[in-house]
Amino acid sequence: MADQSVPWPRQGPASYFPSIETKYGRSIADWQKIIADSGLDKHMAIVGYLKSEHGMGHGHANALVGWTLAGNTATP
């Protein structure tokens, strides 16, 4: 079976991304659009939004927001 490479690092916050996609049923690119459309720009405000409005766990939200605010973009 061929190794499928992912469009993000396998270590650090991005290592959560496969489980985020599986657990919440959206791609990382979809989550980044949700973040962009939230109108929020502070890390913890966005984390709180993902937790309260989308039921995301703190660790997953924190990893996704940190990676996104660092300027990274997932390919849809």
Give SS3 for 71: coil
Smallest CA-to-CA distance from 68 within 22, 20, 5 is with: 20
Looking at the domain assignment, is residue 75 inside a domain? no
Q: How far apart are CA 45 and CA 5, in angstroms?
A: 32
Domains: count for the chain: 1
Residue 56 within a domain: yes
Q: Is residue 49 part of a domain?
A: yes
In a domain, 45, yes or no: yes
pLDDT by residue (tens digit) across 4-57?
Answer: 455 666 667 778 899 999 999 999 999 999 999 999 999 999 999 999 999 999
Q: What is the identity of the amino acid at 20?
A: I
User: What is the rounded distance in angstroms from the CA atom of residue 76 to the CA atom of residue 55?
Assistant: 22
**Residue 2 clears pLDDT 50, i.e. is over it:** no
For residue 4, tell me if it sits in a domain: no
Q: What are phi and psi of 67, to 5 degrees?
A: -65, -40
**Domain coverage including residue 48:** 12-69
pTM of the model: 0.84
